[in-house]
Structure 1
Amino acid sequence: MKSLVSATFALLATVSGVTMALAEYPERPVSIIEPWPPGDVDDQLLRVIAEVFTQETGVPAKVVNRPGGFGLEGAASVLSSPADGYTIGSFLIDIPTSYPILGIAPYAREDMEVIGLNMNFPFMLAARKDAPYNNLAELAAYAKDNPVSFGHFGFETIPAQQTFEAARQLGFSFSTETGYEVTDCTTLSNGDADVINTTVALVLACKDDVKAIAAYTEAPLSVFPDGPLLRDQISGPTFTLWSGIFVPKGTPQEAKDKLAAIIEKAMQSDQAKQIAETTGAEIYWQPAAEAQARIDADFEAVKALFAKMKQ
């Protein structure tokens, strides 16, 4: 009898082990963390990814907005989660570059792995349509005799530092500068700031009352085609503000591969193409190896940009 019981337990253990080995990712719902409030381009794309994920796997995926600390709170929540593929995050360029460089991140670069990069933000320096300047040179001339307030997504963010670098090169200073979780139509219309770092998606509602005096992109913004490129107005490197999908280090390769295939399909969907057309975002898929090389190169260039803060 003892031999029979032992054999039975051994058989059950073997069957259980086989069952676990055959279990495929995902077995339960996946959370996609967005470290910013709802509404911007990356948030819209994450909802497309969640929809395609559910269609492809039959397992729900949901977008969870966790704003705070200019993206730090959401990023930290992802990187402190188990490395099992069930919590993933959408990280802007600052999260793996400028925040660790400045020592303000509660994580290290080595704590994350990139699944791939999927978009470039249609980012710009915007002003009211009736502002007496149309480019950075005109802004500089105006600011030398008049106060100009600047609203941005945080002093530590790359767009803000690129804007400060432009001011340094053109010989002017902003009268005030303030970081916001969101800069949009009301930031300008309420007079909270005269110029703002923002994205096209956040000012679509007032696009007829707004103009771009610098586009932080590789090509002109489709929604604001007359907005001059930042790179054509200052010297030195400028940065495309990419965003991508990241997971905690040690996430199983099976999960990473499945996520990559699903996200690539989502970026090729009609919904993603419509978002690109509406917002001017550059939507694509750059897989992990190429994405990591790009991140490493940007890390070194961003380090040089932020070194100027101390000069």
Structure 2
Amino acid sequence: MRKKTKAFLSGVTLAMAVLFGAGTPALASDNYPTRPVKFLVPWPPGDLEDVLTRLIAEEMSKESGKPATVVNRAGGGGVIGATSVANSRPDGGMIGSLVVDLVTTQVQAGNTPYAMSDLEPVGIFLDYPMTLVARSDAPYNTLAELATYSQTHDVSLGHFGYEALPTAITFKAAKDVGIKFASDAPFDSLDCSTLATGDADVITANTITVLACLKSGDAKLLTSFTRNRLSISPDTPTLAEETGITITAWNGLFVRKGTPESVKEKIAMYAQKALKTDRAKDVAKSTGAGIFWIGEKEAKKVIAEDFETTRELMSSMKGK
């Protein structure tokens, strides 16, 4: 009798746990978001991922009725912000807008306190219009001319950090075409002022951060690290055309491992709506950015492939 009573009570306890405990997260995720959401951008405001993430946050706020805001937490080549996402609760309360480096090169270099598996992609939405930019009065207009000039003159490079993919691409290209950089330095932000102040002669930069000096004629593009020539500068050859290097830098939305699928689906839904708006299309047109949506399943394949591809690029960074 006691055994039956104990078994009955255990069954009741289990049923109540399912009803009031284990079942609660599922119900909450179905109604996501039920509380304010933070989108974390691990860079200063103003770059492409920041602009587009703000559009996504606005769409979520409008559609869900819950506040969704963007927090910029720069530092450590993006690792500080990405770590906050990796350490967040797996409930969609914090969503990272993270560049490819933070799940590939930075992890490979041992710079992250998190493993790649601690973060799960919701989707990839941006191919950066990454470029190599110089002042307009620089005595070179192409990579070949820069290579020749650098043999007899000091040329300084400004970049995003040694574990940043665009940096690895830049050094690989320099090696391939014979560019000699007398010095180089990492910057959290690379824009027109970096060139104007003489902090660097050449910089790797997104077009959006240098549009002002490109339009004013104070800066010029030497090449772009993109699949196709930029719409804003169709005469500028791509790095693929000049060197055969085809890998690009992308950005995606990530959440903590274990976040419910229903939550990730909701985030993806809001993101896709935002990326189809006229405002997003205007960003693509004015900057040359590649804006699209690659869902979770395909994004995981892209990350796995890029993780292996970047190993070779990172090997060219040894000694830096």
What range describes the TM-score normalised by the shorter chain of this pair?
over 0.9
Inter-partner Cα distance in structure 1 for 2:257 and 2:106: 18
2:279 aligns with 271
Residue pair 1:211, 1:224 contacting (<8 A) in 2 also: no
Query: Which residue of 61, 65, 75 maps to 1:68?
Result: 75
Gaps of 5+ in 2: 1-12
Note closer, same or farther for the CA distance 1:58–1:158 as it changes in structure 2 (3 Å cut). same
Amino acid of the structure 1 residue aligned with 2:296? A
* Structure 2 length-normalised TM: 0.90
2:196 aligns with 189
Residue pair 2:171, 2:316 contacting (<8 A) in 1 also: no
Say whether residues 1:242 and 2:222 are aligned partners.
no
Inter-partner Cα distance in structure 2 for 1:14 and 1:179: 52
Residue pair 1:40, 1:202 contacting (<8 A) in 2 also: yes
Q: Please list, as runs of the form range in 1=range in 2, the aligned pairs for 1:72-151 lying within 5 A after superposition.
A: 72-151=79-158
Inter-partner Cα distance in structure 1 for 2:278 and 2:83: 32
String of CA shifts for 1:78-104, please: whole Å, max 9, x gaps: 111111111010110101110111111
Inter-partner Cα distance in structure 2 for 1:241 and 1:19: 40
Residue pair 1:162, 1:238 contacting (<8 A) in 2 also: no
Amino acid of the structure 2 residue aligned with 1:131? A
Secondary structure of the residue aligned to 2:74 is coil
CA drift of 1:308 comes to: 2.6
String of CA shifts for 1:58-87, please: whole Å, max 9, x gaps: 111000000001111110011111111110
2:178 aligns with 171
Secondary structure of the residue aligned to 2:131 is strand
String of CA shifts for 1:250-304, please: whole Å, max 9, x gaps: 0011101111111111111111111111211110011011111111111101011
CA drift of 1:53 comes to: 0.2
Note closer, same or farther for the CA distance 1:13–1:39 as it changes in structure 2 (3 Å cut). same
2:263 aligns with 255
String of CA shifts for 1:30-74, please: whole Å, max 9, x gaps: 000000000011100011001100111111100000000111111
Query: Which residue of 44, 47, 50 maps to 2:57?
Result: 50
1:227 aligns with 236
1:307 aligns with 315
Secondary structure of the residue aligned to 1:285 is strand
1:3 aligns with none
Note closer, same or farther for the CA distance 1:138–1:79 as it changes in structure 2 (3 Å cut). same
Gaps of 5+ in 1: 1-9
Note closer, same or farther for the CA distance 1:13–1:308 as it changes in structure 2 (3 Å cut). closer
Note closer, same or farther for the CA distance 1:29–1:310 as it changes in structure 2 (3 Å cut). same
Amino acid of the structure 1 residue aligned with 2:97? S
CA drift of 1:172 comes to: 3.4
Residue pair 1:30, 1:61 contacting (<8 A) in 2 also: yes
Query: Which residue of 296, 299, 306 maps to 1:298?
Result: 306
CA drift of 1:14 comes to: 9.6
4+ runs of 1 displaced by more than 3 Å? 12-23
Equivalenced residue count is 303
Say whether residues 1:214 and 2:223 are aligned partners.
yes
1:7 aligns with none
Note closer, same or farther for the CA distance 1:247–1:132 as it changes in structure 2 (3 Å cut). same
Amino acid of the structure 2 residue aligned with 1:184? D
Residue pair 2:38, 2:68 contacting (<8 A) in 1 also: yes
